[in-house]
């Protein structure tokens, strides 16, 4: 395309001028318009989508978004809520009304309101790992999370790993293709959360293989032909490890 100073998938740095043709192009994510130019604000990959120029960052802290699945670690407990580390500069807040499941409520029948409330906060302790969902977040309120819902709640076993949040889409793949391949070929249960954390469970040697492959995806997230190459890596590693 004429008038563009960069090409699709080029790696750029903050301040790089992407185009001076502000009539033909609009600034997308990761860019700003400065008078007669559209410039990148990140170290990232150029992405050209018809008239929009985006720059996808290659690193960054997680920004909570409503609807996201997140893996959090409880780090503080007050009488009325849990504070959860969701690997962001914002702290996740979990209130008992978003944490009480049916089992818990059933046990509570026949007891007084006070007795029930006293036990509400026993469900999770500091250090617990939770798979949760972000239900609200705005500039003035901390992100509220919930553990009610399918596949949400406390995890009692398994391993946790972390990669930068911008790389998570690569681990998921289009329509979940990459993560499905990973789970099938490594025989592990894997939960990938948007805040960069990944929970794995399975036989130790399978989990070790899965972690290795995920690190590979993390390193090569910005390259092409990744899905095929990952399939090759898995085959290679399995034979190296005798799996």
Q: Is 227 in the site for another protein (CB under 8 A)?
A: yes
Q: Is the dihedral of CA 52, 56, 61, 67 positive or negative?
A: positive
Selected binder of another protein within 5, 21, 22, 58 (CB under 8 A): 58
Q: Which of residues 137-156 bind another protein (CB under 8 A)?
A: 137-140
Selected binder of another protein within 5, 11, 73, 100 (CB under 8 A): 11
Q: Is 162 in the site for another protein (CB under 8 A)?
A: no
- Scanning 63-71, 121-129, 147-155, 204-212 for contacts with another protein by CB under 8 A, the matching segment is 63-71
User: Which tokens sit at 114?
Assistant: 């006070």
Q: How far is the CB of 204 from another protein (least distance, A)?
A: 24
Selected binder of another protein within 2, 7, 23, 35 (CB under 8 A): 35
At residue 149, what are phi and psi to the nearest 5 degrees?
Answer: 140, 170
Q: Is 207 in the site for another protein (CB under 8 A)?
A: no
Selected binder of another protein within 5, 20, 21, 29 (CB under 8 A): 29
Q: Is 52 in the site for another protein (CB under 8 A)?
A: yes
Selected binder of another protein within 1, 3, 24, 33 (CB under 8 A): 33
- Residue 145 or 206: the one with the smaller Cβ distance to another protein is 145
d(CA 221, CA 171): 8
Q: Is 65 in the site for another protein (CB under 8 A)?
A: yes
Q: Which of residues 70-129 bind another protein (CB under 8 A)?
A: 89-91
- Scanning 99-107, 120-128, 162-170, 198-206 for contacts with another protein by CB under 8 A, the matching segment is 162-170
- Residue 96 or 166: the one with the smaller Cβ distance to another protein is 166
């Amino acid at each position: 395309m004429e008038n563009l100073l960069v090409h699709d998938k080029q790696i750029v740095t903050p301040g790089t001028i992407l185009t001076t043709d502000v009539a033909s192009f609009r600034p997308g994510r990761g860019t700003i318009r400065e008078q007669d130019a559209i410039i990148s604000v990140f170290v990232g990959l150029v992405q050209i989508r018809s008239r929009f120029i985006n720059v996808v960052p290659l690193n960054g802290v997680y920004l909570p978004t409503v609807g996201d699945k997140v893996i959090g670690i409880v780090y503080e407990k007050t009488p009325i809520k849990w504070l959860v580390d969701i690997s962001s500069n914002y702290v996740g807040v979990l209130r008992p009304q978003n944490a009480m499941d049916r089992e818990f409520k059933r046990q509570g029948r026949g007891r007084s309101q006070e007795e029930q409330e006293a036990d509400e906060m026993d469900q999770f302790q500091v250090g617990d790992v939770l798979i949760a969902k972000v239900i609200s977040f705005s500039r003035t309120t901390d992100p509220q999370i919930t553990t009610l819902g399918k596949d949400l709640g406390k995890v009692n076993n398994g391993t946790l790993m972390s990669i930068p949040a911008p790389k998570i889409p690569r681990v998921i793949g289009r329509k979940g293709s990459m993560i499905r391949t990973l789970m099938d070929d490594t025989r592990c249960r894997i939960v990938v959360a948007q805040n960069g954390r990944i929970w794995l469970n399975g036989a130790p040697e399978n989990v070790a293989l899965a972690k290795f492959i995920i690190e590979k995806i993390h390193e090569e997230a910005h390259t092409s032909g990744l899905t095929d190459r990952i399939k090759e890596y898995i085959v290679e590693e399995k034979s190296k490890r005798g799996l």
